[in-house]
Amino acid sequence: MPTAMATREMTSDRKVQHSRAACRLIQPGSWVRCVHCDDTIKFVARLRHKQVVANVYQAGQWQGIEHFHERCYAESCSPYGDPTDY
């Protein structure tokens, strides 16, 4: 049956992964680029700035990680949902 595979896909209880975002303190030595403003997300001692790290999935496939300044993430209207703190 040519439909066997599709049926198995549909009945699979494997969870489809969705993009998600998390808010973290910027770590010393961090040197990543913000995908929103294209500026470096820098650690500054004394200023406990946060960054948003997003795991990006498309159709259940992991596409990679995107980094944002916390402010930039809000400015781009939280494309991957409200970031969770951890």
Site residues (vs Zn ion, CB under 5 A): 34, 36-37, 69, 72
Q: Do 34 and 67 contact (CB within 8 A), yes or no?
A: yes
Smallest distance from the beta carbon of 67 to Zn ion, in angstroms?
9
Smallest distance from the beta carbon of 47 to Zn ion, in angstroms?
15
Q: Which is nearer to Zn ion, 13 or 38 (CB)?
A: 38
Comparing C-alpha atoms, which of 79, 73, 64, 77 is closest to residue 37?
Answer: 73
Q: How far apart are CA 38 and CA 61, in angstroms?
A: 25
Q: Which is nearer to Zn ion, 20 or 49 (CB)?
A: 49
Q: Distance of alpha carbon 21 from its chain centroid, rounded?
A: 4
Q: Which is nearer to Zn ion, 20 or 35 (CB)?
A: 35
Smallest distance from the beta carbon of 9 to Zn ion, in angstroms?
38
What secondary structure letter does DSSP report for 76? T
